Structure 1
């Protein structure tokens, strides 16, 4: 059997000590997650992160860094996800923008508020991504190579 992890993106967006989260339905219960989702065909990782954040929260953001690349196997279904997590900053809100199906709405929460409710996390990655961000994990966006370029011929 071939191993095929699911490629996902997520964003950590902080504003005045509060983080942009998504309250959504998963397996019949309301949970918290970063704005996150699957990479789609013909889409770059950065495009996916911006799209998912808008579709799930109604917020436009600018990506500022990569905070981590995670490999996570969900205990509920055994599916493995490779998550590329980006840091971002708010540009503006579109309150009338329709949200994805299953999304209850965006929620701004402090780390402490989120940490008090582990039973409501979509996965352990929710707090882990925030903690890595708070610990200063910031990798330049040039780390992401959305399209592999041909080697330059002038290099020996």
Structure 2
């Protein structure tokens, strides 16, 4: 009997706040235009910090430097055709310069700034159920040091 090995999809997300507003991306999905924090899958050979900075750049055209881990979150999406568990490493940090002329990642329509109230009111358009939880944790002051995540040198060998 062959046993299926379960593996969660590891994702990274940037929670970016300035002046009481959060930077979100609006993206095309099979369910229509949805909202999310800049986020995506961790690529082979990159640390969660590196993946978060890369995803933020690809989806917003801005550099991003993680300064703290907000938390590690899990969610599951089930339908007739799939059953996927996501493990998200969410970071807050500093938004850097925009790279002029850089195109946004495929499927990303635009970036926008929203207040917490606007984010709460738009829950039906959230791509991930973790979006609001990450924002709420940020607002609650949750911060963990980046060295909580140990990356062995073998990752980059």
| TM-score (normalised: structure 2) | 0.90
Q: Which runs of 5+ in 2 are unaligned?
A: none
Which residue of structure 2 lines up, in the alignment, with residue 14 of structure 1?
A: 17
Which residue of structure 1 lines up, in the alignment, with residue 119 of structure 2?
A: 114
Return the offset for 1:41: 1.0
Return the offset for 1:103: 0.5
Which residue of structure 1 lines up, in the alignment, with residue 34 of structure 2?
A: 31
Return the offset for 1:114: 1.2
Give a deviation string over 1:114-153, Cα, whole Å, max 9, x none.
111111100210100000111111000111112268xxxx
Structure 2 CA distance for aligned equivalents of residues 50 and 83 of structure 1: 14
Correspondence for 1:42 among 39, 42, 45: 45
Is the aligned partner of 1:101 residue 2:97? no
Correspondence for 2:57 among 54, 58, 73: 54
User: Do the aligned partners of 1:63 and 1:87 also contact (CA within 8 Å) in 2?
Assistant: yes
Q: What is the Cα-based RMSD across aligned positions, in Å?
A: 1.4
User: Do the aligned partners of 1:15 and 1:89 also contact (CA within 8 Å) in 2?
Assistant: no
| TM-score (normalised: structure 1) | 0.90
